[in-house]
Chains A and B, each alone.
Chain A
Amino acid sequence: MAVHTINFEPDDRYNAFLKVCAKPSHSEGKLAGIAVAVKDNISTQGIETTCASKILKGYVPPYDAHAVGLIKNAGAAIAGKTNMDEFGMGTSTENSAFGPTLNPCDTGRVPGGSSGGSAAAVAAGMVRMALGTDTGGSIRCPAAFSGIVGFKPTYGRVSRYGLIAYANSLETIGPMATNVSDVSLLMSVISGNDRKDTTSYDKPYAHTPSADIKGLRIGIPEEYFGKGVDPDVGTVVRRAIARLEELGAVTVPCSIPSMEYALAAYYVICTSEASSNLARFDGVRYGPAADTKKSWHAAYQDVRKQGFGPEVRRRIMLGTFALSSGYYGKYYAKAQVARENVRKDFTRLFSDVDVLCGPTMPTIAFKFGEKSDPLSMYLSDILTVPVNLAGIPAISVPCGKVQGMPVGLQVMGRPFEDERVIDVAYAYEQAVKP
């Protein structure tokens, strides 16, 4: 197969990239010659992959993530690795060890996170598409804050092999682009079964978006317009839903009672899994080396103390606590029950409606430093985490502005009805196209 190269010399004024590949090569295929940015927690053979953490500085994976292999085979040119909250832990990309990414819509504000670099690279037009990852909203949040389209597929529909795990049971790789068609195109390349990921399903996505949503039943969960949600954001999103009604959809008010504790359950589960996943960064096999003159535990502690940022250390401690003897039942086990309740709530709602709609984020993009207290940052994930707990597909599509900043409409669907979620976003996008 012929190999070509492209020139990629972006003006990265937003610090979207941790690493730029100036002359990436590419082959033929569906994505031939398209520059695709890859979030830095997705392994790329021969290209440094750090998760925006000092603890992985210099780590060059000897293998490609399954999704990366697929986009390369489809002809994409890997344009570089994008900035993120360290290990995906954050909602603003402020938690990068290599400095925050700026929001191209307003450089005084965060681009959202944790896939903030991918979102900014797309929003600023540096690349046409990007891969992000979504553990509790990390694709949809920056898509909403930066005014692009971000899609979180059904859990298992895209292989996680090569995605550096933060919270295995919640996260997925997904596509980001300026429009729904490109998101759908990228999704069609990365989806499908992978024998290296035994949690993946053999359900490839081969869909061309359709704008026909006549008769579609849309549930409007009251919690998505309730306490903590900026009324201006709510108004913009309601207006967008009205547009969908004009296109022939029917709306049904509904409720997700388990949202009362969904966020707590999410944070218990993701920190628990993270405390285990991130323990392997010990400076032995990769990453900045442990001091072999010291004893094991002293050297291990040094590596982790120097290598991890404060939010990562905080979450490792929280997860360690939630799993520790005496607390497992109160936190981890309870969170699993809560998670099942969330799933059941969605199942119940989806027996009546086809999709659920609401805002992606409760507010517009924060100003830098606005959410300095960890809990207040966590609370901003309230509208995105239920989807991850249930493993269902969801998309964020730009639907207007508040104070000049973009607002995202979130569409959530039944498991493995990624196509329908994409269609709803596409219908809206086509309807409002200038």
Chain B
Amino acid sequence: MVTEKDVEHIGELADIGIDTSELAIFTGQFNAIVEYFDVLDRVHGDDAVARDLYNVMREDVVEPSLSQDEATRNAGAQEDGFIKAPRVM
């Protein structure tokens, strides 16, 4: 059973901006889905996923980078070649 508090916590972890008004509906949907996921409890075995390709690597060779303009063109704001972002401190 997933509670509204759980959903609030997951929303915080995901940094997805959940409004309190959305909590009830998300919680209801979550419960239905998570209840369906419980079928996984019936899965047995512990085989890791088999993978057949290993050690796929490239050589240490320098390739051209984008120009500063190309690199920053899609950004909302730039300053002296830097990309502007909200404050973190």
Contacts and interface: CB of A to CB of B under 8 A. Distances in A.
Whether A and B touch (Cβ < 8 Å) is answered with yes
Interface of A: 58-60, 62, 156, 195, 198-199, 201, 260-261, 264-265, 267-268, 275, 279, 283-302, 304-305, 308, 313-314, 316-318, 320-322, 324, 330-331, 334-341, 343-344, 373-375, 378
B10 A304 contact: no
B15 A286 contact: no
A301 B75 CA distance: 18
Contact of A317 (B26, B46, B87): B26
Nearest to B7: A317
21 contacts: A62-B66, A62-B73, A198-B56, A199-B53, A261-B39, A265-B40, A275-B14, A284-B83, A287-B76, A289-B75, A290-B86, A296-B87, A302-B17, A305-B19, A317-B7, A320-B16, A321-B10, A335-B40, A337-B46, A340-B45, A343-B50
Nearest to A291: B86
A297 B16 CA distance: 10
Contacts of A156: 53
Given A292-B85, A336-B49, A337-B46, A284 B33 contact: no
B80 interface: no
B43 A261 contact: yes
A264 B75 contact: no
A266 to B, nearest CB: 11
Nearest to B42: A261
Nearest to B13: A320
Contacts of B19: 305
Given A261-B39, A275-B14, 8 more contacts: A265-B43, A283-B76, A285-B83, A292-B76, A296-B86, A298-B86, A337-B45, A375-B32
Interface in B12-52: 13-19, 26, 29-30, 32-34, 36-37, 39-50
Contacts of A264: 36-37, 39-40
A61 to B, nearest CB: 8
A300 B86 contact: yes
Contacts of A201: 53
Given A261-B40, A337-B45, A374-B33, A314 B13 contact: no
A370 to B, nearest CB: 17
A153 B29 CA distance: 33
B62 to A, nearest CB: 15
A405 to B, nearest CB: 27
Please indicate which of the listed interface residues B19, B26, B33, B37 has the most CB atoms of chain A within 10 Å of its own CB: B37
B68 interface: no
